Structure 1
Amino acid sequence: MSLDLKTKLDKELKDDAEIRNLWLEGIHNRDHRQTFKKINEFYDFIIVGAGTAGCVLARELIYNIPNINILVLEAGPPNIQVNDIMRSPCAYPSVSRTIETDWGYYTENQKMPGIVDPTKEVLNKGINYSRGKVIGGCSTVNAMIYTRGQKADYDLWAAQGPEYKIWDYDHCLEAYKAVENNTRKSPDEEFKKYHGFNGLLYVQDGQNDFDDIIKDVIKVAKNLGIPYNNDFNGVRQNGVGRYQHTMKDGKRFSLADGYLTDALKKVETYPPSKPFDIGSPHGLSDNAAKFVAVNVKSFAHMLNIIWDEEKKDENVAIGVKYFYDGRVHKSFIAPKGEVIICGGAFNSPQILMLSGIGPKNNLEENNIKVRKELPVGRNLFDHPSCCITAKVSVPNSTSTSQLHYSSSGLELGMFYKGDIKGKVPSQEHFLDERPDIQFHASTNLLDPVARANAKSGKKNDVLTLVSTLNLPSSVGHLELRSSNPFIHPKIFLNYYEKPDDLYLMMSSLKLSREIFKQPPLSTVWGVESDVDKEMSDEDWEHYIRKKAFSSSHACGTVKMAPESKGGCVNHRLQVYGTKNLRVVDASIFPTIPAGNLNAPTAMVAWKASILIEEDYKNKA
């Protein structure tokens, strides 16, 4: 960092601190006067996190369980705060890494033995890790790609025991179809078997034609023997084709748009013959009516779960403690109610650990009372990515210089199996129906390092080929850094700890290099990649680790599995050793699905709403 830049940054931080102190003084004066009396609020369900899962849950519960009220807490702002860039698909790189809507996570540096030469130590540098901190969560900031993974992914979940049968592919497909409103024109009968057309999440085909250079990438892929696939969520995933996106009429369509908006429409009183208590509209009283509605509080940072101290051995959740508008607030659940954590793969385990649920050693070193020892934070899966960028000699030929408003720049996808020995994949790999590589071709600059170094206003035409490892065997973890709920946990991704992962990525990048060499890319377009020279496997390992970035598909850290097999929640997503506490989000995935995770997370939330409804009706 230059001296001038550091001086400017120091001044900005000082200015921020001064204003923050003025704000604190105002809050202190207000509280000292005690203008507002704190009251105990009661809700039937408290949902922590208004992301993908929280939005689906709120809507399904409020319409399917009679006469309940729900509180949804969201740490970030309303999505309308970034209405312009959030709605515009072309601006997704901006909305996914802005201080207004992102948690600002950064992973830990990790040293480990090299894979190609274990006698040499290699470094996985810490990276920025995007996570949506906004109403709608990651569905408000992601690239909108709608993929579900493969049949085998969910059958693996179901194979954990007879009670897990509800998570097999057929049951999950039912949920996917219930959530989805697919707008494909004139879908064939095969397509109809795998898609829903009456759900609240809009899914559509691309609105723009491919750039000519992307059309030529498809031609090259076909010439190499890669089959065309017009539905990555259908009977098979392998092949090259166009993604569908969570969009409506060329604009982003988040789970907040579809589900939370609909949930907020229901506002009633019960019983209708009684007036509500003006002084305490969310109190518990047999003599007053209650509101049947969903309340959402933005900028509400969860602190910890409140436990029933009279039943210490049972770990009965009775409410939540959170920071909102400069104050600590408490909200409680009514009889038969639940606290449902929907914070995602980083926040959900952190909330549990701050509340005494997690690894004994990590809790004790942070002076947190251990209520239930579980491997919370372990089993962290992600989809590591790496890319090769090529310059395109033909000027003004790509979306880098010609913007398409309704395009995220990620329209062309490809799924295939990598070679386990790190060689260029063959025809056999392309036809394998259990692909482990997801491939994107884009005329946007997607390399995070190159983007950071790019000069403002300079628009070189590029073609980027991104490889993503969709079925990784390396597993990471996270742990508390502090008992301070405002300090991020330590995140260890463990990318390429297992040899298979490195060689599969190497195989995919070698294929990318071969694609660049094929006409008409090498002839008509004059494509020149940044890895034209011959490279040893050790060179490739260095390149892969240096260029590594995340697809932001973290999951698995509150694993759904038998407790004896490292599970933190059971098949109904209830936290072991507790009562009235559930986790519903990507953190419960036992293994990572082979695709983008927004759709699977919505599917899990829809299925969870059925389980919650069943349990609610069965309670005395």
Structure 2
Amino acid sequence: MPLPSNPHLNQQTARSVVAASAAALGALTIALRYWYSKKGPGAHVGDPATAARRVNGVAEDEYDFDEYDVVIIGGGTAGCALAARLTEDSSIRVLLLEAGKSSLDELFATVPISYGQMFHTALDWDLWTTPQEHSGGVAKYWPRAKLLGGCSCLNAMVFHMAAPEDYDEWALAQKGQEGANGWTYREFSKYMLKFEKYLPSARHPKVDASLRGESGPVEVGFFGHQANGTPKFIEACANAGIPAVPDVNTAKGTLGVTKAMTFINSSGRRVTTEFAYLTPDVLRRLNLKVVTRAHVTRVLFDTSGSTPRAVGAEFTQPSGETFRVKARKEVVLSAGAVHTPHILMLSGVGPADHLREHDISVIANLPGVGSHLMDHPVVDLHFRDKSESSIAFVAGKSLAHRLKLISALLQYRLRGSGPLTSNICEAIAFVRSTDRSLFPPEEFPPETDPEDTTSGPGAPDLELFFTPLTYTKHTGGVLPPGHYFGLHAVLLRPSSTGTIRLKSSNPYDAPIIDPQYLSTPHDVSVLVRALRLLSRIARTAPLADMLDPVGADDAALDHALHTRDDAALAERVRRTAETLYHPACTARMAPRSEGGVVDPALRVYGVEGLRVVDASVFPTIVSGHTAGPVIAVAEKGADLIKADLSKLKA
């Protein structure tokens, strides 16, 4: 029915409609929260005193610890998988400690598109880097989930296992140490398939399901939303010279452009490692306990022998109470590439001089702890969309946006589909910055080619991706109202490395994070090439048909990027680069003489009974997304631990 002609009545009616839509939106959100809080599997230990012992001023060597075979510190992407796999053996008693809470009743960790709503909340560690000298001179926000499932609750849900050559490079980095060959792609890929349960899609019939895992706990597939611009980006990439491929997760390699396969299940739900691995059946196992809100302050060591041995962990609860637990056989750090080195250093394992600066007794001098930090920087480009197919209405506040959101909420609740199932990063392309078909010599002379930092001739050093909305500073920036799409350039093989260091010996002080973004000319030059390629793709049909000419002269947008010289593009790169949420390599697997922290069995050098199982152990960052590789590391880590524990039984 049309609105009345009286302007006062128009305003009154509009206000009523806005109020009604806001109320309806609030009711739907509450309903979704209720529905998901009732549907999630499993539970966790509510009272830590049932799993650990309170510390009440008793001397440590006199304390009667609760004993477990394995204590896992960190219930993130790796920790949940590790706990589930280890407790398949009923003789192994496991305690999993997580600083956050369960993610299962958190709406924003469930509905795929909503993960940005957790930024800067109690569900996030709210970490920041130091001001980055070579990247705008400003501190960068690093989202890190504080939940069971870790960053599998907070990432863009892209299922990608990186390039096969990456893992062969990992094996070579071990210099022939025992177990090194187990990290080659040929050997390690079985763990990739082990966790995966691929559900075929009629929309993507060219994916060879025989090359995908079929019985693992983690559902992957093509159940996420596909925006109108997603196939246009794929076609434009193909028209620009990037081959369209059905699957970038096979032994054939990862080069090409494709619709992103995702960690979203057939019900439209984000698949976290808590959801996939800590099922009700797993949590009913008598040999597993999970304690949440357990902030681990240090690993405990027995130093009475010739070699220190990890024997347990100390943690606190929000109440301020302190608890200790004992590990009869192993302590495993799975706290992620930031918190694993942080806890190691707080416990006396790390660079000796740095530990002494903070009056921490040195258990093992390992300079590699917290060193060789690698991350994937990303540069985001913004384009006005004349097709008005953006899905940015999910965060909009206008009446039109709210009405669209109500419709999307209903579609999601009733069918588990629609815009709310977008993983945002809907289409991805992997290329090499020296590919002559994309970077012809007449435009990019060979003498300007950057150093090849890839793991092999079939591996990429750049990722390009499309989003059916755009954002700046992890949604913290502002663009004028309107419809937009985003194109994004990711540096996959940076030559810049940074550090994680202690701010103090106080375990509640966040560590000092300094990734040293763009500190080498190589990293800037590769991203400049990426911006040139993205600008060409944006002006290639059919994606070019979406470009709104209104944005051509808008300095906040990138329609005119192709008119700028290399110096201007380099400035754009340095000014706006952000993290893609992929920190790694801070307790890397390498020979100790080369700064390594763990051996090929993931055992920490210089101490007994201590391992690391998370992205910290990557010898070098993979040329792709990190969630899948981390889960595979956890799968392999579980087998390594089981094998060692079985030897002890014998």
TM-score by length of 2: 0.79
For 1:254 and 1:170, how far apart are their aligned partners in 2? 26
Structure 2 partner of 1:8: none
1:565, CA displacement in angstroms? Answer: 1.4
Aligned partner of 2:316: which letter?
Answer: F
One-letter amino acid matched to 2:312: G
Give the aligned partner of residue 434 of structure 1: 459
Question: 1:86 and 1:506 mapped to 2: Cα distance?
Answer: 34
1: distance between equivalents of 2:353 and 2:457? 44
**1:236 corresponding residue in structure 2:** 253
CA 1:263–1:294 in structure 2 vs 1: closer, same or farther (change >3 Å)? farther
**Residue deviations 1:314-360 (CA, integer Å, cap 9, x gap):** 111111111124201110123xx211110000100011101111011
Give runs of aligned pairs for residues 123-162 of structure 1, distance below 5 A: 123-159=136-172, 160-162=174-176
Report the equivalent of 2:520: 498
The alpha carbon displacement at 1:246 in A equals: 0.8
SS of the equivalent of 1:79 reads coil
Counterparts in 2 of 1:410-559, with a 5 A limit? 410-419=425-434, 424=439, 433-448=458-473, 451-454=475-478, 459-523=481-545, 525-526=547-548, 528=551, 530-531=557-558, 532=560, 534-559=563-588
The letter of the residue matching 2:601 is R
Q: 2:384 aligns with which of 391, 413, 419?
A: 391
Aligned residue identity for 2:165: A
The residue type paired with residue 397 of structure 1 is: S
1:397 is displaced (CA, Å) by 2.2
Code of the residue aligned with 1:208 in structure 2: it is: H
Conservation of the 8 A alpha-carbon contact between 1:387 and 1:509: no
Tell me, yes or no, if the aligned pair for 1:58 and 1:263 is still in contact at 8 Å: no
Instruction: Identify if the C-alpha distance between structure 1 residues 369 and 389 changes in structure 2 by more than 3 Å, giving closer, same or farther.
Output: same
Shift of 1:67: 2.0
Shift of 1:454: 2.7
Question: Which among 286, 307, 312 is matched to residue 314 of structure 1?
Answer: 307
The 8 Å contact of residues 461 and 491 in structure 2, kept in 1 or not, is answered as: yes
In 1, the alpha carbon distance for the partners of 2:545 and 2:626 equals: 37
Maintained 8 Å contact 1:470/1:593 = yes
Q: Select the residue among 325, 328, 335 that pairs with 2:322.
A: 328
Structure 2 residue 275 is matched with structure 1 residue 257: yes
Distance 1:70 1:425, change over 3 A: farther
SS of the equivalent of 1:474 reads: coil
CA distance, structure 1, for counterparts of residue 540 and residue 80 of structure 2: 46
**What does residue 227 of structure 1 align with?**
243
- Residue number in structure 1 paired with 2:374: 381
How many residues are matched? 541
Please tell me whether the aligned partners of residues 255 and 459 of structure 2 are also in contact (alpha carbons under 8 angstroms): yes
Counterpart-to-counterpart distance in 2, 1:519 and 1:440: 16
Cα distance in 2 for residues equivalent to 1:470 and 1:262: 38
- Which region of structure 1 is more displaced relative to structure 2, 344-353 or 300-309? 300-309
CA distance in 2: counterparts of 1:319 and 1:446, whole angstroms:
44
Residue 519 (structure 1) shift: 4.1
List runs of 5+ in structure 1 lacking aligned partners. 1-29, 113-121, 268-291
The Cα of 1:58 is off from its aligned counterpart by: 0.6
- SS in structure 2 of the partner of residue 329 of structure 1: strand
Distance 1:263 1:71 in 2: 16
Residue 589 of structure 1: how far off its partner (Å): 0.4
Cα distance between partner residues in 2 of 1:513 and 1:382:
24
Q: Partners in 2 of 1:155 and 1:330 — Cα distance?
A: 40
Deviation digits for residues 52-95 of structure 1 (CA, Å, limit 9, x no counterpart): 111111111101x332221111001211341x121111212213
**Does 2:112 correspond to 1:89?**
yes
| Contact 2:500 2:514 (C-alpha < 8 Å) held by counterparts | yes
CA gap of 1:49–1:410, structure 2 versus 1, over 3 A, is same
In structure 2, do the counterparts of structure 1 residues 582 and 523 end up closer, same or farther at CA, with 3 Å as the change threshold?
closer
- Superposed, 1:599-618 pairs within 5 Å as 599-618=628-647
Offset, 1:420: 9.3
Q: 1:409 to 1:190 in 2, by over 3 A?
A: closer
Paired residue secondary structure (2:643): helix
How far does the alpha carbon of each residue in 1:503-529 deviate from its partner, in whole angstroms, 9 at most, with x for none? 110001111122223344445642536
Comparing 523-532 with 193-202, greater Cα deviation is found at 523-532
Aligned equivalents of 1:420, 1:379: Cα separation in 2: 28
Q: Return the letter of the residue paired with 1:410.
A: C
The alignment partner of 1:110 has SS state of coil
Q: Deviations over 1:205-252 (max 9, x none)?
A: 1443431x3332222212112111110102121111101111112110
The match for 1:598 is 627
Asked if 2 retains the 8 angstrom alpha-carbon contact of 1:86 and 1:140, the reply is: yes
Cα 1:110–1:181, aligned 2, differ >3 Å: closer, same or farther?
Answer: same
**Stretch deviating more after TM superposition (566-575 or 493-502):** 493-502
Distance 1:247 1:393 in 2: 29
Q: State whether residues 158 and 423 of structure 2, in contact with CA within 8 Å, keep that contact through their aligned partners in structure 1.
A: no
Between the aligned partners of 1:537 and 1:301, the Cα distance in structure 2 is 47
Match of 2:115, as an amino acid? Y
* Equivalent position SS for 1:448: coil
Provide Cα deviations, 1:378-397, integer angstroms capped at 9, x if missing partner: 01111000011011234x32
Cα displacement (A) at 1:499: 1.7
Which AA in structure 1 matches 2:369? V
CA distance in 2, matches of 1:524, 1:537: 26
Alpha-carbon distance in structure 2 between the residues aligned to 1:100 and 1:264 = 27
Residue aligning to 1:199: 216
| Preserved contact between residue 47 and residue 340 of structure 1 (Cα < 8 Å) | yes
- Partner residue in 2 for 1:12: none
Cα distance, 1:193 vs structure 2: 5.0
Q: Deviation string for 1:529-567 (max 9, x for gaps)?
A: 623163232222221111111001000000111111111
Partners of 1:418 and 1:425 within 8 A in 2:
no
Distance 1:415 1:619, change over 3 A: same
Q: Secondary structure at the match of 1:376?
A: coil
User: Which residue of 1 is the match for residue 421 of structure 2?
Assistant: 406
1:147–1:599 Cα contact (<8 Å) kept: yes
- Counterpart AA for 2:159: Y
Q: Which residue of the partner structure matches residue 20 of structure 1?
A: none
Contact between 2:239 and 2:540, CA under 8 Å: does it hold in 1?
no
Unmatched tracts of structure 2, length 5 or more: 1-53, 394-403, 409-418, 450-455
Counterpart code for 1:392: D
Change (3 A) 1:425 1:441: farther
**Per residue, is there more strand in 1 or in 2?**
1
Name the structure 2 match of 1:51. 76
Q: Report which stretch shifted further, 180-189 or 545-554.
A: 180-189
In structure 2, the residue corresponding to 1:601 is in which secondary structure?
Answer: helix
**8 Å Cα contact 1:367-1:483 kept in structure 2:** yes
The share of aligned pairs that are identical, in percent, is 29
Following superposition, the deviation at residue 425 of structure 1 comes to 6.5
User: 5 Å matches for 1:559-598?
Assistant: 559-598=588-627
Q: Counterparts in 2 of 1:53-92, with a 5 A limit?
A: 53-63=78-88, 65-82=89-106, 84-92=107-115
Query: Which residue does the alignment assign to 2:349?
Result: 357
Cα distance between partner residues in 2 of 1:433 and 1:203: 25
TM-score, normalization by structure 1:
0.82
| Aligned mates of 2:590, 2:235 — CA distance in 1 | 44
Name the structure 2 match of 1:284: none
- Counterpart contact for 2:499–2:513, Cα < 8 Å: yes
